[in-house]
Amino acid sequence: MIPQDAAAPSAEYPPLRLHVPEPAVRPGGTPDFSNIRIPRAGQVNRPDVDVDAETIRDLAFSVIRVLNRDGEAVGPWAGALSDTELLEGLRHMMTLRAFDARMQMAQRQGKTSFYMQHMGEEAVSCAFRRALNPGDMNFPTYRQAGLLIAGGYSLVEMACQIYSNTHDPLKGRQLPVMYSSREHGFFTISGNLATQYIQAVGWAMASAIKNDTKIAVAWIGDGATAESDFHAALVFASTYRAPVVLNIVNNQWAISTFQGIARGGSGTFAARGLGFGIPALRVDGNDYLAVHAVAKWACERARRNLGPTLIEHVTYRVGAHSTSDDPAGYRPKTESEAWPLGDPVIRLKNHLIVRGAWSEERHKQAEAEILDSVISAQKEAESYGTLHSDQRPSARDMFEGVFADMPPHLRRQRQEAGV
């Protein structure tokens, strides 16, 4: 019950009112990104890697960009990648997009229960992966499959995991897209948001304790930065100067919740790092070259034992949150088309054409080839079964791996299950 005098007016102060942030536009409205400040490509300076966080506070409020409107690479962050590397990067992004499309369709066809696509965010994980060395470890969320594809992981294994079939490397125990590959520097994905962010810091600390040269890379979305683990990760990374790169992928949306709900009055997500004394950068997440350059810079800092870096990747979640989501219920249908940073695949393609290393014809041809290879991987995976087919991991596998050695109570339960 509210005490009666709670509503009594005060002569001195007007009544308090709760502030709940709202996105600028809702369904039916005209998309409007005029409030997003985007500097021209090449404008943001490139500090030395041993810079003091205090002196680059402006980088947490700007956006590092390399590719300009004409598809040219400009400014101090340009110039690190060869034609061959960029062509490979384009192929990685196109493969991820094609794979997403096929798996999205497979889910609609009932071949699996669930899928989450990356549309619009392909550059973030694909370009970052190129900055890593063998042995480095990513602590990804469910929307960084580009790390696997750019790291050479098999599409067949990815599809088998999604289908929970007899060749599923995780034996059917995990929800689709919760991949794990130690060999490819890809830590086991958890459904619990943000938990991996602090674990990445611990992994990096372990590498430092053992005087190793490997670094860790943490990943989180804009919405999940509100979880306590995010704050713990920044505290511990800062305290122990852990060799970790702390990525925030700001795709503007956490399911139906716009990024302003998680960001509050902080201005940018990158700005959160400043309070912890961690150098913080914002980067155009749809600019393959910029993401890669910033990743290299941050990884170099970590490898030189200069401590953690926080990177906010500014991008847009073009697709639905998952196959269980319909964005038409909370945002304008055409919002992604109005997104000012464009499409990462098209932007890299145009850059390669400007460089004279690519053409529309070769792009079309590559699209067809990539689709063929994805379909062929999908077919192979389907030959090992899909979710509701008879080919699935055995019920016996369900009892394995809870502990290193099966304790007596689990043995009894396995017997009871008749497997």
- Could you give the count of Cα atoms lying within 13 Å of 419 in the half-sphere of its Cβ? 12
Q: Residue 181 has what DSSP assignment?
A: B
Q: Across the strands, what pairs with 313?
A: 249, 283
Q: Across the strands, what pairs with 309?
A: 245
The H-or-E segment that residue 284 falls in is strand 280-284
* Residue from 115, 163, 203, 258 binding other proteins (CB under 8 A): 203
241 binds other proteins (CB under 8 A): no
Please identify, using beta-carbon distances, which residue of 76 and 202 lies nearer to other proteins.
202
DSSP state letters, 122-142: HHHHHHHHTTPPTT-EEE--T
177 binds other proteins (CB under 8 A): no
Q: What is the bridge-based pairing of β-strands 244-250 and 309-314?
A: parallel
Piece in contact with other proteins (CB under 8 A), picked from 49-57, 99-107, 119-127, 229-237? 229-237
Q: Please say whether the beta carbons of 380 and 161 come within 8 A.
A: no
How far apart are alpha carbons 49 and 419 in whole angstroms?
57
* Residue from 78, 150, 233, 254 binding other proteins (CB under 8 A): 233
Piece in contact with other proteins (CB under 8 A), picked from 227-235, 319-327, 328-336, 347-355? 227-235
Piece in contact with other proteins (CB under 8 A), picked from 3-11, 23-31, 177-185, 319-327? 177-185
201 binds other proteins (CB under 8 A): yes
198 binds other proteins (CB under 8 A): yes
Piece in contact with other proteins (CB under 8 A), picked from 122-130, 200-208, 279-287, 381-389? 200-208
The tokens for 262 are 């998680």
| Distance set, CA 326 to CA 277, 321, 322, 330, 416 (Å) | 39, 8, 8, 8, 42
- Least CB distance to other proteins at residue 173 (A): 6
416 binds other proteins (CB under 8 A): no
DSSP state letters, 244-264: EEEEEEE-SEETTEEHHHHHT
- Least CB distance to other proteins at residue 411 (A): 11
Please identify, using beta-carbon distances, which residue of 166 and 315 lies nearer to other proteins.
166
- Least CB distance to other proteins at residue 407 (A): 4
The size of the interface with other proteins (CB under 8 A), counted in residues, is 46
Please identify, using beta-carbon distances, which residue of 325 and 397 lies nearer to other proteins.
397
188 binds other proteins (CB under 8 A): yes
44 binds other proteins (CB under 8 A): no
How far apart are alpha carbons 387 and 345 in whole angstroms?
31
* Residue from 165, 181, 250, 309 binding other proteins (CB under 8 A): 181
Please identify, using beta-carbon distances, which residue of 28 and 191 lies nearer to other proteins.
191
How far apart are alpha carbons 162 and 318 in whole angstroms?
21
| Angle, CA of 304, 310 and 314, to the nearest 5° | 135
* Residue from 199, 286, 350, 378 binding other proteins (CB under 8 A): 199
How far apart are alpha carbons 230 and 215 in whole angstroms?
18
- Least CB distance to other proteins at residue 167 (A): 12
How far apart are alpha carbons 196 and 338 in whole angstroms?
33
* Residue from 190, 257, 266, 373 binding other proteins (CB under 8 A): 190
207 binds other proteins (CB under 8 A): yes
Burial of 181 (0-12, 13-18, 19+ CB in 10 A): buried
The amino acid at 73: A
310 binds other proteins (CB under 8 A): no
How far apart are alpha carbons 298 and 243 in whole angstroms?
10
- Please report, as residue ranges, which positions from 386 to 415 form the binding site for other proteins (by CB under 8 A): 401-404, 407-409
- Torsion angle, alpha carbons of 155, 119, 114, 380, to 10: -20
Site string for other proteins, 125-164 (x = CB under 8 A): ------------x-x-------------------------
Piece in contact with other proteins (CB under 8 A), picked from 89-97, 124-132, 175-183, 381-389? 175-183
* Residue from 67, 106, 170, 245 binding other proteins (CB under 8 A): 170
| Angle, CA of 116, 121 and 124, to the nearest 5° | 120
Which residues would be at the binding site for other proteins (CB under 8 A)? 137, 139, 169-171, 173-174, 178, 180-183, 187-188, 190-192, 195, 198-210, 216, 228-229, 232-233, 235-236, 239, 401-404, 407-409
